[in-house]
Amino acid sequence: MASMFAVLYKFKIKSGMELQFEKSWEQMTFEFRDVHGGLGSCLHKDDAGHYLAYARWPHREMWAADKKIINTAAMSAMRDCIEESFPSTPLTIINDLLEK
């Protein structure tokens, strides 16, 4: 059986567009969860002001599969906010001790 899988994303957001990014990120997270089989995501902000998102998937193949985006307006709004996008970090979950 495939291991649980997660991905870490990091973004630098254009000044003044933080709220738009947060709202569109939330809309896209709902789509990935409700339509594409994702398990949800958690958005963080580091001390330098970068946004980091931790997203969970049942397995790597589901994350990597082509997905037809339904909410193209939210995806476009989110992309408009991004000044810099860093490479994603795929993660195989070994031992999950987070409270559910």
Q: Which pLDDT tens digits describe the chain residue by residue (100 residues)?
A: 457 899 999 999 999 999 999 999 999 999 999 999 999 999 999 999 999 999 999 999 999 999 999 999 999 999 999 999 999 999 999 998 887 7
57 and 3 Cβ atoms separated by less than 8 Å: no
Strands 51-57 and 89-92, sheet pairing: unpaired
Q: Indicate the pTM of the whole model.
A: 0.90
Residues with Cβ within 8 Å of residue 4, at least 6 apart in sequence:
56, 57, 58, 59, 92, 93, 96
Domains, the chain, ordered by start:
5-92 (3.30.70.100)
pLDDT the model gives residue 2: 58
Local structure of residue 97 (DSSP, 8 states): -
For residues 67 and 38, give the distance between their C-alpha atoms in angstroms, rounded to a whole number. 11
